[in-house]
Amino acid sequence: MIYQMKLIKFDKLDSTNTYAKQNLDMLEDKSVISADFQTAGYGRFTRSWVDLGTENIYMTFVLKPSEIFLQMHANLTQYLSVCLCKLLEDMGLSPAIKWPNDVLLNDKKVCGILAEATFRGAKLKGIALGIGVNLNSSPQSLGLIDRPATSLNLELGRDIDKDEFLQKLVDKFFSEYDELLDKGFVHMQDYYESHASFLHQNIKVAVFDKTKEGVFCGFDSDGTLLLRTPDGQIEKINMGELV
């Protein structure tokens, strides 16, 4: 595997994504920002992120794929969820993906992913692709999260080496990153769909202030969720979350 990655580690940051966005001009493409502790982490829809301690993953990929924002750039969160799932399977676990990018173990969330694009006028400056992974946490700490959550140490019954895990996840990400940029979502569609929670089941999807209901049919070739509504129509949903 040949790629150039610069890993920048901090003891403490307000947020690895915030740091990446504020320093995009000086950061190289494919830099990785990691922090032991975040004071102001956040997730999708500006939800606060619960810091579970220094032995967990808080990091951001700094990506500058082009000056134009393309459809496959919107699939980066899905791609990162696939990379994490593959790494967890290498460890003997059976992960699932709750659309669009939550990774679950035994129906409990084990990571959060957030992509934020920054523009200068109409040109794409770069993308901060952040991920937090629960590696070594206590049941008491996990209880602070507002939804069922778990960590790898609890699932495997042993402590996880943080540095080793981080390097493996970075390697997994960049191993097929260029192919994703070339082919888009179809490059990972079979894997992603086979790991999707609630596929072919009745679901509810929150889209802004509305809730849509129907049967989860699968995904379009660009990663859009396909929902069969009660009137038999297929609706394409490209943002929101399952509720």
Same domain, 154 and 58: yes
Per-residue pLDDT of the chain (243 residues; tens, 9 = 90+): 455 679 999 999 999 999 999 999 999 999 999 999 888 756 554 555 566 777 899 999 999 999 999 999 999 999 999 999 999 999 999 999 999 989 999 999 999 999 999 999 999 999 999 999 999 999 988 988 878 999 999 999 999 999 999 999 999 999 999 999 999 999 999 999 999 999 999 999 998 889 999 999 999 999 999 999 999 999 999 989 898
> Measuring CA to CA, which residue among 220, 192, 223, 241 is closest to residue 86?
192
Any domain includes 67: yes
CATH number for the domain harbouring residue 27 = 3.30.930.10
179 and 223 fall within a common domain:
no
Whether residue 1 lies inside any domain: the answer is no
Supply the pTM of this predicted model: 0.93
Same domain assignment for residues 45 and 156:
yes
Q: How far apart, in whole angstroms, are the C-alpha atoms of residue 233 and residue 223?
A: 18
> Any idea what the CATH number is for the domain that residue 236 is in?
2.30.30.100
SS3 content of the chain, % helix, strand, coil (to 5): 30, 35, 35
Residues 109 and 228 in one domain: no
What is the rounded distance in angstroms from the CA atom of residue 215 to the CA atom of residue 202? 4
